[in-house]
Structure 1
Amino acid sequence: MKWFNQEDRAKRQAESAARRQQEIANFGRQVARETFAGKVIAIHERGFVKMGGVFQEGKFERLVSIEASADVGKKSGLGRGVAAAMTMGVNLLGSNKRGDVYLTIVTDSQTYALRETPPTAGNMERSKKLEAAGNAVLRARAGTGNRESSSGSAGVRERMNELKGLLADGLITKDEFEQKRKSLLKEL
């Protein structure tokens, strides 16, 4: 016995695709998605962040600011030596670093202070990637207000530079860049 027939599967896929398209229309395309401190964090191009658990759907919130930081230090040789004697060297298999990696996300409704320990290259990289994507989205959103007041080739030039920055940061594809570039050139 099949759990789902083809029609049910096609219907669910169509509903899922429609929901994704509605999210893109409302919140923009997803530019970064990482797991940090047990949360799945997705940054969207219109200045929204969606945070949820691994098995829990998050809600969209307007991103106000995002900051990644780390408090990293080395464990002392004396302390590691004493611990090695007590654990018969098992502690030497672990990291020589101590500290924490922090990611602070401020939205229009809440402040999230996330922490991972011990610091690893992976969690530091994930926090910095989310910070870079969030700040790029915030810069682009801040530039939107200036776009409306600027006119002529100076405004187009500013938007073109922002577009180049998004491409350099990897937040848009080359095809998206070319499409937006062509539409900007039509405004001249």
Structure 2
Amino acid sequence: MKYWTTRFSQYHAFNWLMIWLLLCSSAILLFPAAKLGPAAAHWLHACSLYLWLGILISSSYFVSQCILILMDVAQQQLTQYQQRHKLEQMIRCLDFSERAILREFVLQRKSVIKLPITEPAVKNLLESGVLTYAYGQPLFEDDSMIKALMIAMPARPLITYRALGLTKGKMSEEQIEQIMSARPKFASKGSAR
């Protein structure tokens, strides 16, 4: 409904004018001419073309606004579908270091982790929309800082144990050792603090 909030509500007075034009023209044309006096009936007959023109203009205005709103909704749906498809492809094609970074959220049992945004895997996850800044986008460009990051809301349902290389059941000591040795050095240091 972005179109409605930015465009349609912007012309509030014009919208009311079109509503009144439509209602008044319709009411005058639908009123039975037999109940009017001869002078009013003659005036109605003379002005009927203008009244029909008012109905045509106001109704076409509202039809065009409805079409624009429907196009806006369709565009939003398409954008959401494309973003979800992009996230699905990204999560399906995670490399070893990206998987290890996402596993850290499970291993540390935290929803927010401080990670260096200059790290290539972290940067790639940020750019693809899998990770996002926990407390809003930084106001100034400072790539050297470690930022608090979290898994983006649209990506959360797509990140499963299978996508992370984990099993739901009990893991063997060897599997646990492999996962712990695959932890990124910066993440394991951050959890130790």
TM over 0.5: no
The structure with higher relative contact order (CA 8 Å, sep 6+) is 2
Q: Which has the higher Rg, Structure 1 or Structure 2?
A: 2
Task: Give the TM-score range, shorter chain.
Answer: under 0.3
Length-normalised TM-score, structure 2:
0.27
Length-normalised TM-score, structure 1:
0.28
